[in-house]
Amino acid sequence: MPSQRGPRRLTPAQARQRITRGHAALLDVRETYEWTAGHAPDAAHAPLTRLLAGAALPPSAQGRPIIVICRSGNRSRQAVEILANSGVEATDVTGGMVAWAAEGLPVVDDRGDTGFIA
């Protein structure tokens, strides 16, 4: 089993702080229609279905600790297991994008305008 540094789960505020400081990359594992409607700024996108099929991480998420987010936290926990089993340091966000938006953290759509959680 790969070693895991740091906590397995973060609050949205803790995740935002780590991402803003450059300590980790944010990876959104929701489906494309969810991503298009609204996602965290600076997040990379790789749907869980692609990760399950063995797809590579987006370039901005490669070689870095990863914070994984989905809508509510279920898919992100699955993605953390997949990534950890591949030797990637991965943590997920408790409550996902629903909690992220509820905490007033920024959400943008695919055009960079204010987005919403689908």
Rounded-to-integer distance, Cα 113 and Cα 82, Å: 32
Rounded-to-integer distance, Cα 111 and Cα 62, Å: 24
Query: Residue with structure tokens 């300590």?
Result: 23
Give catalytic residues, as residue numbers: 70
